[in-house]
Amino acid sequence: MAEANALNAETPPELVELRHSIDNIDAAMLHLLAERFKCTRKVGELKARLGIAPADPEREAHQIARLRSLAVTADLAPEFAEKFLGFLVREVIRHHELIRDGGLDVGRPAGAGESA
């Protein structure tokens, strides 16, 4: 706390308040990401078991269209929503490929090194 107070002493109160909100939002997103990776890990295991390809362009196109549409109502740029999904999908595909190739230790936390 001493360190935080020293930092705050030089930081405008308005900035401190905004950063607190950003930190709260980040914590919420982090926990949602953990849940998302639990889902995508199950998807990866299911795909490996059924011999379904890790990448699915049709599914991705559907996700992109949906998120771009949601972005408009959320007052977020559709381009950024698509970029964000791309960031997540790249991680997930890499994870699915690792599961398929038997290179993933599924006992590790979601997103560990290989991500998910």
Closest contact distance (angstroms) between CB of 63 and its own copies is 7
At residue 13's C-alpha, the angle toward residues 12 and 14, to 5°, is 90
**Is 61 an interacting residue with respect to its own copies (CB under 8 A)?**
no
Handedness of CA 80, 86, 87, 89 (dihedral sign): positive
Of the candidate residues 7, 53, 55, 106, the single one contacting its own copies (CB under 8 A): 7
**Is 19 an interacting residue with respect to its own copies (CB under 8 A)?**
yes
Closest contact distance (angstroms) between CB of 102 and its own copies is 19
Site for its own copies, residues 26 to 45, rule: CB under 8 A: 26-40, 42-43
**Is 12 an interacting residue with respect to its own copies (CB under 8 A)?**
yes
At residue 76's C-alpha, the angle toward residues 73 and 79, to 5°, is 115
CA distance linking residue 2 with residue 85, whole number of Å: 39
Site for its own copies, residues 68 to 87, rule: CB under 8 A: 70-72, 74-77, 79-81, 83-85, 87
With CA atoms as reference, report the closest residue to 111 among 40, 49, 50: 40
CA distance linking residue 114 with residue 23, whole number of Å: 25
Residue at 18: amino acid letter: L
- The residue ranges that bind its own copies (CB under 8 A) are 7, 12, 14-15, 18-19, 21-23, 25-40, 42-43, 46-47, 50, 52, 58-59, 62-63, 66-67, 70-72, 74-77, 79-81, 83-85, 87-88, 91, 108-113, 115-116
